[in-house]
Amino acid sequence: MLQTSTIEKFSFPIPSVPHASALQNIPDSYYQLTPSEVRERCFAAKEALGDSVFILAHHYQRDETFQFNDASGDSLNLAQVAKQQSARYIVFCGVHFMAESADILTSDEQVVILPNITAGCSMADMADVDLVEDCWDELNRACGENSFIPITYINSAASLKAFCGQNGGIVCTSSNSEAILQWALDQGKNVLFFPDQHLGRNTANKLGVPKDNIRLWNRQEDGGLTTEELQNTKVLLWNGYCSVHVRFNMAQIEAIRSRRPDVKVIVHPECPEEIVDAADFDGSTNKIIQIIENAEPGTSWAVGTEINMVHRLHQELYPKEGKHIECLNPHVCPCSTMYCTDPVNVLWILENLLEGRVINQIKVPRETARWAKVALDRMLELS
């Protein structure tokens, strides 16, 4: 909660919540500011707001926006940080599903704000709750009630997290997917894994699930599978994917190894199976950072993930440790929806808070939030 001393010191009105949660047009005057003016005003607004505001930023944010963060990380780390925060306002420089998770995990008195309300996730959009429920009904018909456990990747809408909470399921991230999938398999159940087929397949491979027991549901009426095939499925994957990570290919790996024979290739597990198998390492964004940071000075790395994080690693580690770090895809792989959030968005949010207005609040409906929290809490307990 905002402390009385902070209010008196900085003399700004306290916004009523909820208020002005819909998308509002940013005045043209904001876009006439220079980058340095935007930066200075952002930091000034942050200082004025004091402990009442806390800014989270995903690793994939562009540098110009990333600089304002109070905490950064991957999806799991940021969910954990959000749950621990006491600040009145959580400004989430990420995408919509991340802000939803933060709203679910924080208290009713806290306000979660998404600086750019249009920042979504193409992968999350590939799994609609109605289609998932249709798939679930077909699994119950073909295989019997309670034969499957649903696992949703955190890159999904709150409604899908709630679906998992209501059906004995759970959420996972790329950091904990092995532990979560193992938890489900240890219960003697089969698994419906959505929306990212590649994370699901790569995780199942690591746990030794036979390949002929892993199948793909093609998002059509019967998933493109017979009853017999469903009955012989241990892990059923949803036909979704990350538009950034599917752009990495074998030709890129061969090219970088030809050009730099000493290079180590490290990729995100959202990449296709053959890319993960061909790489030297794979892991979540946090794990990629940890592996490269702990590597010997002077080593060379080709990284198969979003370009902003890769560039940031190179800028940090090349000057002081001589580590050469480049993106595996030479044609650049930005996450377009993460890129939606620019410094002007952040400035607009902060200066409206100073004036007593909340812009772009993310508020998950109470019943959806209740069940989604069940699935998220199961994940956090196992993490």
Domain count, the chain: 3
Residue that is last in its domain, among 226, 242, 258: 242
Its domain, for residue 39, covers 4-119+338-364
Report yes or no on 273 lying in a domain: yes
Residues 134 and 237 in one domain: yes
- Within-domain flag for 369: no
Q: What angle do CA 242, 124, 200 make, to 5 degrees?
A: 60
Whether 79 and 151 share a structural domain: no
Is residue 308 domain-resident? yes
What's the rounded Cα separation, in Å, for the pair 200 and 187? 18
Whole-prediction pTM value? 0.86
In a domain, 377, yes or no: no
Q: Same domain, yes or no, for 282 and 186?
A: no
Q: Is residue 236 part of a domain?
A: yes
* Structural domain ending residue among the three candidates 307, 327, 347: 327
Residues 139 and 238 in one domain: yes
Same domain, 180 and 259: no
Positions of E strands within 154-263: 170-172, 190-194, 214-217, 235-238
Q: What is the pLDDT of residue 21?
A: 35
- Going by C-beta distance under 8 Å and a sequence separation of 6 or more, which residues neighbour residue 112? 82, 90, 92, 99, 102, 103, 106, 361, 362, 363
Answer yes or no: do 273 and 323 share one domain.
yes
Output the tens digit of pLDDT for each of the chain's 383 residues.
223 223 223 333 434 433 333 345 899 999 999 999 999 999 999 999 999 999 999 888 989 999 999 999 888 788 889 889 999 999 999 999 999 999 999 999 999 999 999 998 889 999 999 999 999 999 999 999 989 999 999 999 999 999 999 999 999 999 999 999 999 999 999 999 999 999 999 999 999 999 999 999 997 777 899 999 999 999 999 999 998 899 999 999 999 999 999 999 999 999 999 999 999 999 999 999 999 999 999 999 999 998 888 998 999 898 889 999 999 997 766 777 777 899 999 999 999 999 999 999 999 999 999 999 999 999 999 97
Helix (H, G, I), strand (E, B) or coil at 1: coil
CATH of the domain at 235: 3.40.50.10800
pLDDT recorded at residue 332: 66
